[in-house]
A and B are shown apart, each in its own frame.
Chain A
Amino acid sequence: MAIQDYLRQRYFPHMWCPGCGHGTILNSLLRAIEELEIEKNDLVITSGIGCSARISGYVDFHSLHTMHGRALPCATGVKLSRPHLNVIVPMGDGDALAIGGNHFIHAARRNIDITAIVMNNRIYGMTGGQFSPLSGPGVNATTAPYKTIDNSFDTVKLAIAAGASFVARSTAYHAQESTDILKKAIQHKGFSVVEILSQCPTHYGRKNKEGDAASMLEFHKKNTARIGSKALEKNPDLTPRGIFVDVDTPEYCAEYEKIIAVASKEKM
């Protein structure tokens, strides 16, 4: 099957700007799903609000386009109700970690079997370029005309601290790597977080003189390095990529089945 077969093609071309990294992430995600041979009917995509969230409408799965920041609790309801379904939640950086921050850490804490993808372009794109909790200090944004003074979250460290049992990072430049990581994340039993650095040439690139989409991708290439690589050893300021955590810890839905077993026995 071609990856286009996983799309609701009548809604293409999609609404993302030219060179938006989110399209590449969709591309990588569909390849992962194709390689895993997941049945369309066994997959639920749940998203929130923002550019990233539009993914759900484009894919030919069960798709749930919810409210800003609320994709994970909605997905939690889906997953706990029907644990056999694969549930994937693509989110933007503001969606996942500002308005949805509380849901993010608690979904990780529960270790519920959901794959959360943080498509981090460091900006609120849909509303026209406001800084996000992942912008970090020194960034130009419409709501930071004198540059940002806000520190950013480290998505990977936050996810690990909150209890996610699979945590990884890649970039839109590293498309094949993203696919490989997403495959493992989807297969992982537990809460998986995959941060994929994306690019918003329209609202971030232009304002911050990072050039067009291609030069923003060059930035991903130059400023990141695989965990354990020589490059990272030589220059620890680079953003590490790869799988940081992949552990087998009790998964929420499986644990709840045990509760049902105990409760229904007590009843009898």
Chain B
Amino acid sequence: MARQKLKEIVIDRSWCKGCGICVHFCPTKVLEIDANEKSVAVRPEDCICCKMCELRCPDLAITVLIDQGEDNEK
């Protein structure tokens, strides 16, 4: 299976409470908490699409959109 490619990490800023769970457990340190205490994807290029941020988010604020490009069809 080809490695999944990230399209976008969508974070609903009005739902995010900035608990930092996603930041702490991201294996490639893609996310950070910004000055407004909200999670933000600062290094999306490092994302491996494991979706653990989305699955663990207690605010249901994160959606990891995966590129459904040709590579991923194989």
From residue A166, how far is it (CB to closest CB) to chain B in Å?
22
A175→B52 contact, CB < 8 A: yes
Whether a CB of chain B sits under 8 angstroms from the CB of A97 is no
A18→B18 contact, CB < 8 A: yes
Partner of A19, one of B14, B25, B52, B58: B58
Which residue of the partner chain A has the closest CB to B50? A176
Whether a CB of chain B sits under 8 angstroms from the CB of A213 is yes
Whether a CB of chain B sits under 8 angstroms from the CB of A172 is yes
Return chain B residues, CB-CB under 8 Å to A13: 14-17, 59, 61
Question: In residues 16-38 of chain B, which contact A (Cβ within 8 Å)?
Answer: 16-21, 23-25
Return chain B residues, CB-CB under 8 Å to A217: 21, 24-25, 56
A47–B19 Cα distance when bound, in Å, is 25
With A27-B57, A31-B55, A214-B24 known to touch, is A2 a contact of B63 (CB < 8 Å)? yes
A214→B21 contact, CB < 8 A: yes
With A13-B17, A19-B19 known to touch, is A27 a contact of B58 (CB < 8 Å)? yes
A27→B21 contact, CB < 8 A: no
Partner of A212, one of B14, B15, B19, B57: B19
Candidate in B14, B15, B58, B60 with the most chain A CB atoms within 10 angstroms? B58
Return chain A residues, CB-CB under 8 Å to B60: 3-4, 7, 12, 14, 23, 26-27, 30
Return chain B residues, CB-CB under 8 Å to A183: none
A20–B60 Cα distance when bound, in Å, is 12
A13–B18 Cα distance when bound, in Å, is 12
Which residue of the partner chain A has the closest CB to B19? A19
Which residue of the partner chain A has the closest CB to B16? A13
A214–B60 Cα distance when bound, in Å, is 16
Partner of A16, one of B16, B25, B58, B63: B58
A176→B55 contact, CB < 8 A: yes
Whether a CB of chain B sits under 8 angstroms from the CB of A173 is yes
Return chain A residues, CB-CB under 8 Å to B25: 214, 217
Return chain B residues, CB-CB under 8 Å to A22: 58
Whether a CB of chain B sits under 8 angstroms from the CB of A24 is yes
A21–B21 Cα distance when bound, in Å, is 10
B17→A173 contact, CB < 8 A: no
Return chain B residues, CB-CB under 8 Å to A135: none
Return chain A residues, CB-CB under 8 Å to B19: 18-20, 201, 212-214
Question: In residues 10-50 of chain A, which contact B (Cβ within 8 Å)?
Answer: 12-14, 16-24, 26-28, 30-31
A12–B60 Cα distance when bound, in Å, is 10
B15→A21 contact, CB < 8 A: no
A–B pairs, 8, beta carbons within 8 Å: A4-B63, A17-B17, A18-B18, A19-B21, A20-B58, A23-B57, A27-B55, A214-B19
Query: Sorted from nearest, which 7 A-B pairs have the closest CB atoms?
Result: A23-B58, A19-B19, A214-B24, A18-B17, A18-B19, A175-B55, A13-B15
Beyond known contacts A13-B16, A14-B60: 4 more, CB 8 A cutoff: A19-B21, A21-B58, A23-B58, A217-B56
